Structures are given as structure tokens and as C-alpha cells.
């Protein structure tokens, strides 16, 4: 049977890193039933995953936080430094808000509890692949709680943003994709990406999640 080239091009390649074999098998089976998902690698721990990444390049990684030898918290920054284009969804049994905030600031693209059903995992994979981040009630509440604690910290020097930067930041908070933002503000997607990177540098954010936290903290959505 011939494989449609477009279908192959649109395939999302997944790697799963989790030391619980039964959970890993269940997620793999569920995702493999989707026509646009292909699980191309599995690992028991972060070190094994990093070794696999030298040879294969998934689009999205499902990364367990608690693993032997090298856990997900230690593995995430390594992945983001070596392979910044790979989207990483953290998996855990716990909905620890401080942990969620920390991981999102380190570059995680989403955070799911292991009791999430297969459709939620699939939706997170698709959204991260297409729009970079998947925000749900858990991540949103954690980020807002994180902001409440940060309000008591020493306030950094006020950053001046121009109208274009504010507009793009608002649209990012509305979960618009880079292409959607580019169409709205009449710029090329590459220019929007450049402005987004400049914004990160301006406000001292390490990730898009950090930018969104900045926007909420400074009431940019309400301006």
C-alpha cells in the first residue's frame, strides 16, 4: 500500500521517556491509533533519551519527571539547549504548582498529569507541535499562582514596549499561532518570531511562557 506523501510530511514523530513500562505502552498504543502520530522512540530515563536523540529527532517528547539515573527535571534543560526545536511535554503524578512554574520557565511546552486521558495527551501533542505551547487549567493556575509570589519580589526596572510589541504580546496571550499573528499585524512570520525573541530579551524571559507571565503581571492584556 502506497503512503501519501502529504500524510507522511504531516506526521508528528513522538518519543516517550518514562520508566513505567505499562504506562509507556498504554500511551504508545493510544497515540499509535492516530493517523498523524508516530512513536519513533522510547526510553527508561533521561540519559537513555539523550543518547537516542543523537540519532533520531522527534517533534515532541513526552517526558516523565520522576525517573531513575536521570530524571525529567535534569533532562529538560539539556534537551532545550541541544535541540531547541523539539517540543517537550512533562508528565507527572503530581499537580505541584511551583514545579509547573519552574518547568515552564525552563522551557517545557506543556505539563500533564498521568491521569490525563489519551485524547488530552493527543490534543497537547498536536497543539504543542502546531502552536508551541499547550495551556490547560492546571498550567494556567500554576502560572498565575507563580505570579502572585513574584509580585512580592523586588520589581525590575520598568521595560518600555512599543505598540507593535504590545499587540504581538497580547495575541500570544490569546494563544494565536505565529502565522495567525503575522496575518493580523501584517508582518511576515519570521519578523514576528524576531520581535518575540526581542521581547524575551527585553523583559528577561527565558521562554514564551515567561513572556505570558510578564504580560499578566504587568496587566498588558487590560491595556
Same domain, 166 and 127: no
The pLDDT assigned to 82 comes to: 95
Same domain, 87 and 197: no
With 50 as the cut, is the pLDDT of residue 15 above it? yes
Same domain, 183 and 78: no
Using one digit for the tens of pLDDT, what is the confidence trace for 69-96? 999 999 999 999 999 999 999 998 877 7
The pLDDT assigned to 35 comes to: 94
The residue among 134 and 95 whose pLDDT is bigger is: 134
The pLDDT assigned to 17 comes to: 98
The pLDDT assigned to 1 comes to: 43
Domain-terminating residue out of 120, 146, 172 = 146
Same domain, 142 and 216: no
Same domain, 101 and 23: yes
Region of poorest pLDDT, from 118-127, 179-188, 191-200, 204-213: 204-213
Same domain, 18 and 106: yes
Distances in Å between the Cα of 164 and the Cα atoms of 93, 129, 144, 154 are 41, 26, 25, 28
**Domain tally for the chain?**
2
The pLDDT assigned to 173 comes to: 84
The pLDDT assigned to 147 comes to: 55
With 60 as the cut, is the pLDDT of residue 4 above it? no
Domain-terminating residue out of 105, 124, 146 = 146
Same domain, 193 and 208: yes
The pLDDT assigned to 9 comes to: 59
The pLDDT confidence band at residue 133, using thresholds 50, 70 and 90, is: confident
Same domain, 55 and 28: yes
Using one digit for the tens of pLDDT, what is the confidence trace for 194-221? 898 889 888 888 777 778 878 877 777 6
Same domain, 80 and 9: yes
Same domain, 172 and 141: no
The pLDDT assigned to 91 comes to: 94
The pLDDT assigned to 148 comes to: 54
Parent domain of 22 = 5-146
Provide the CATH number for the domain around residue 86: 3.40.50.2300
The residue among 174 and 7 whose pLDDT is bigger is: 174
CA-CA-CA-CA torsion for 191, 84, 108, 190, nearest 10 degrees?
A: 10
Domain-terminating residue out of 117, 146, 175 = 146
For range 106-133, the mean pLDDT: 91
> By C-alpha distance, which of 152, 150, 149, 172 is closest to 161?
172
How many other C-beta atoms lie within 10 A of the C-beta of residue 62?
Answer: 27
Same domain, 116 and 161: no
The pLDDT assigned to 2 comes to: 47
Provide the CATH number for the domain around residue 206: 1.10.10.10
With 90 as the cut, is the pLDDT of residue 46 above it? yes
Distances in Å between the Cα of 200 and the Cα atoms of 8, 105, 178 are 34, 12, 15
With 60 as the cut, is the pLDDT of residue 108 above it? yes
The pLDDT assigned to 223 comes to: 53
Q: Average pLDDT, whole number, for the chain? A: 85
Same domain, 179 and 96: no
For range 123-151, the mean pLDDT: 74
Amino acid at each position: 500500500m502506497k503512503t501519501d506523501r502529504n500524510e507522511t510530511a504531516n506526521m508528528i514523530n513522538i518519543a516517550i521517556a518514562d520508566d513505567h513500562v505499562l504506562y509507556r505502552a498504554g500511551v504508545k498504543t493510544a497515540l499509535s491509533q492516530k493517523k498523524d502520530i508516530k512513536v519513533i522512540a522510547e526510553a527508561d530515563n533521561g540519559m537513555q533519551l539523550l543518547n537516542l536523540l543523537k540519532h533520531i529527532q522527534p517533534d515532541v517528547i513526552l517526558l516523565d519527571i520522576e525517573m531513575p539515573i536521570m530524571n525529567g527535571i535534569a533532562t529538560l534543560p539539556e534537551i532545550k539547549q541541544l535541540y531547541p526545536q523539539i517540543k517537550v511535554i512533562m508528565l507527572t503524578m503530581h499537580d505541584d504548582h511551583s514545579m509547573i512554574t519552574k518547568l515552564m520557565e525552563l522551557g517545557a511546552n506543556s505539563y500533564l498529569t498521568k491521569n490525563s486521558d489519551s485524547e488530552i495527551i493527543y490534543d497537547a501533542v498536536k497543539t504543542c507541535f502546531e502552536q508551541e505551547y499547550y495551556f490547560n487549567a492546571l498550567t494556567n493556575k500554576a502560572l498565575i499562582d507563580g505570579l502572585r509570589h513574584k509580585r512580592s519580589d523586588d520589581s525590575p526596572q520598568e521595560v518600555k514596549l512599543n505598540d507593535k510589541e504590545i499587540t504581538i504580546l497580547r495575541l500570544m496571550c490569546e494563544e494565536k499561532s505565529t502565522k495567525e499573528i503575522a496575518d493580523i499585524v501584517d508582518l511576515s512570520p519570521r519578523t514576528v518570531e524576531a520581535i518575540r525573541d526581542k521581547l524575551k530579551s527585553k523583559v528577561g524571559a527565558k521562554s514564551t511562557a515567561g513572556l505570558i507571565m510578564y504580560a499578566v503581571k504587568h496587566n498588558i492584556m487590560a491595556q
